[in-house]
Amino acid sequence: MVDIKKLKELVDTELNNLERLSKEMKEFLSGSKEEKSTIEIRAAGSILHDFYCGIEKIFERIATVMDNHVPFGMNWHTDLLLQMGKTIEGVRDRVISEKLIKNLKEFLRFRHLFRRLYGFELKWDRIKPLCAELEDVLTNFKKEIEGFFKEDKSDSELSDDSLTQ
């Protein structure tokens, strides 16, 4: 058996990775050029893509370990995000707020778009707002995740299998 502390360690690893992405975006945005080249826009898109993927990894861990259910089907990404905003009676409180879900939906939409477009089709004026919001969204995400784990009982035990899936 593994306790919630082990899950928290795995989540902390992902939070550190997200922090690294935030620093990369901050460095990217600090560049003096207002207009970005196609290559620079692709780079920003990659950071945004990775950012949501990292958040989703955290959600998948929580859903697997605590909820014993990761959504499936065509809309599983959206369903997983919404699942994190719900309390599961007798299992856990909500992980994130409705406001954060709304913010994260924009990053999820972008990730979907990023995977289906050619990089040269990305438009700077369309992704610039997400680039600018990334740091604040991460700050709020970290606060809510840390609050979730503080409220949860750290002596709960979970199976080893649920952490390695």
- pLDDT values of the chain reduced to their tens digit, one per residue, 165 residues: 347 888 999 999 999 999 999 999 999 999 878 889 999 999 999 999 999 999 999 999 999 999 999 999 999 999 999 999 999 999 999 999 999 999 999 999 999 999 999 999 999 999 999 999 999 999 999 999 999 998 765 444 444 454 555
Which residue segment(s) compose the domain that 136 sits in? 2-164
Three-state DSSP at 144 gives: helix
CATH of the domain at 28: 1.20.120.580
pTM: 0.88
- How many domains does one find in the chain? 1
Strands (E), the chain: 2-3, 157-158
Alpha-carbon separation of residue 143 from 61, 114, 138, 140, 150 (angstroms): 18, 27, 9, 5, 10
pLDDT of residue 16: 98
